[in-house]
Amino acid sequence: MDIYVSNLSPFITNEDLKNHFSKYGTVTSANIIMDKFTNRSRGFGFVTIPDDTEAEKAIKELDGSLIDGKTISANKAKPREDKPARSSYNNRW
């Protein structure tokens, strides 16, 4: 299961996030989303724990917990919505 984690400190690394969640199960990936222009953390990321029971426990235990002095939010990740392609030409008229 993919877990959406928000309100992360800009100083948290992928490894920090993985270590924090690995107390609750096997973490196969932990990825903090970075701004493509500034290369700084956008303050959220995703953690993957394949076992749904372990993932649910991690969400329950870590939602509202402190990491690096910030209260994080942890929820089951929702699928990304398909957005229609933006065309600046069509939007002008």
Q: What is the reported pLDDT for 80? A: 75
> By residue range, what is the domain housing residue 60?
2-78
Q: What is the average pLDDT value for the chain, to the nearest integer? A: 90
- Whether 23 is covered by a domain: the verdict is yes
> What is the per-residue pLDDT across 44-61, written as a single tens digit (0 to 9) for each?
999 999 999 999 999 999
First to last CA, the chain: 43
pTM of the model: 0.83
Q: Does any domain span residue 42? A: yes
Domain tally, the chain:
1
Specify if 19 maps to a domain. Answer: yes
> Percent of the chain, pLDDT > 70?
87
Residue 84 lies in a domain: no
Which pLDDT tens digit goes with each residue over 70-89? 999 999 999 877 666 665 55
User: 22-30 long-range contacts, Cβ below 8 Å, gap at least 24?
Assistant: 23/58, 24/49, 24/54, 24/55, 24/57, 24/58, 24/61, 24/62, 25/49, 25/51, 25/54, 25/55, 25/57, 25/58, 26/50, 26/51, 26/54
Q: Is residue 83 part of a domain?
A: no
For residue 87, tell me if it sits in a domain.
no
CATH code at position 53: 3.30.70.330
Residue 29 confidence class, pLDDT cut points 50, 70, 90: very high
In a domain, 90, yes or no: no
- Whether 86 is covered by a domain: the verdict is no
Tell me if residue 78 falls in helix, strand or coil: coil
